[in-house]
């Protein structure tokens, strides 16, 4: 069993790897998983899910932007395992469009999304790269808010 990272796999009888069939060579019950190993393999608990604060102007334009940012942050913090990186990327693209249109500050957007990603259980390195990539993609389609 590969326990090194997401996407690992288990190979057993009936599996075929590089054209070779795996077969049982010694019929015996599987050994129980040692408790110390189970503890190491258990996922880390998620941090508390407190809301990310998004302070922006209080006029209609600011209210729209606050709503847009909050919706994207909520998508990131609410993403289930296996979809978190995609949710973060999509949020960065959407908000990157508003950054490119001059509506939001790139550093502030990156900070909001980084905080949301951390609360969702993503590593800082993974989040930073995903956010940067999403902001670059969003920059290709600038979006502004009507006055």
HSE-up (13 A, CA, CB side) for residue 29 = 3
Counting the structural domains of the chain, the total is 1
pLDDT at 16 (0 to 100): 81
Distance set, CA 39 to CA 5, 59, 89, 96 (Å): 15, 51, 31, 40
10-residue mean pLDDT series, the chain (147 residues): 58 79 83 84 65 64 89 93 93 94 93 94 92 94 83
Residue 27 lies in a domain: no
Domain-located, residue 92: yes
Report yes or no on 42 lying in a domain: no
> What integer pLDDT is reported at residue 144 of this predicted model?
86
Asked if 134 and 88 touch (Cβ cutoff 8 Å), the reply is yes
Q: Does residue 134 fall inside a structural domain?
A: yes
Is 83 within a domain? yes
C-alpha dihedral over 135, 141, 146, 147, to 10 degrees?
60
Residue 8 domain flag: no
Is the residue at 49 inside a domain?
A: no
Q: Is residue 52 part of a domain?
A: no
Residue range of the domain that includes 101: 60-138
């Amino acid at each position: 069993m590969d326990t090194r990272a997401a996407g690992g796999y288990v190979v057993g009888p009936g599996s075929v790897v590089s054209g070779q069939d795996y077969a049982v060579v010694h019929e015996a019950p599987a050994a129980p998983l040692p408790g110390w190993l189970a503890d190491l393999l258990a996922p880390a608990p998620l941090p508390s899910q407190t809301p990310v604060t998004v302070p922006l102007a209080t006029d209609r334009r600011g209210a729209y932007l606050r709503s847009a940012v909050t919706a994207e942050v909520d998508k990131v913090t609410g993403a289930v395992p296996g979809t978190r990186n995609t949710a973060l990327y999509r949020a960065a693209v959407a908000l990157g469009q508003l950054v490119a249109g001059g509506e939001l500050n790139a550093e502030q957007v990156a900070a909001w999304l980084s905080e949301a990603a951390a609360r969702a259980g993503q590593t800082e390195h993974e989040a930073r790269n995903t956010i940067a990539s999403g902001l670059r993609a969003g920059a290709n389609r600038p979006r502004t808010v009507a006055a």
